[in-house]
Amino acid sequence: MSDLIEAMVWTSGTAMFVGFVLLALVGLSIYTVSHPPVPRKGFLPMETTGGDRLYVGLLGIGLSMITLIAFTNLMLPIGLVIGLIWAGAVLLWG
């Protein structure tokens, strides 16, 4: 059991991603209190609120990173850039 615990090390990338998620959730919570959510229809095939679009955007970031690791030899920052472009598009136009 202790070998498993010792092997679980946070990298700086993991810590930054978790910090970004927490910062995004706090920011969205503050924004939602001051501006009640209004569902809207964008390019996603359903009406979404800001929280829905944030969730889909974060899933896209994670999926792009996992796909990059699984199928290419490219560096992880490239996957992060691709994921952030996706998340930005979902948040703005989703």
pLDDT in tens, 29-84: 898 899 888 888 988 888 998 888 888 988 888 888 888 888 887 777 787 788 88
Task: Compute the distance between CA of residue 12 and CA of residue 47 in angstroms, rounded to an integer.
Answer: 35
pTM for the structure as a whole: 0.72
- The closest alpha carbon to 51, from 21, 81, 80, belongs to 21
Rounded to whole angstroms, the Cα distance separating 13 from 21 reads 12
Number of domains the chain contains? 1
Tell me the H-state helices in 1-94: 2-7, 12-34, 50-71, 76-93
Give the model's confidence band at 26: pLDDT under 50 very low, under 70 low, under 90 confident, else very high. Answer: very high
Q: In terms of residue numbers, what domain contains 53? A: 2-93
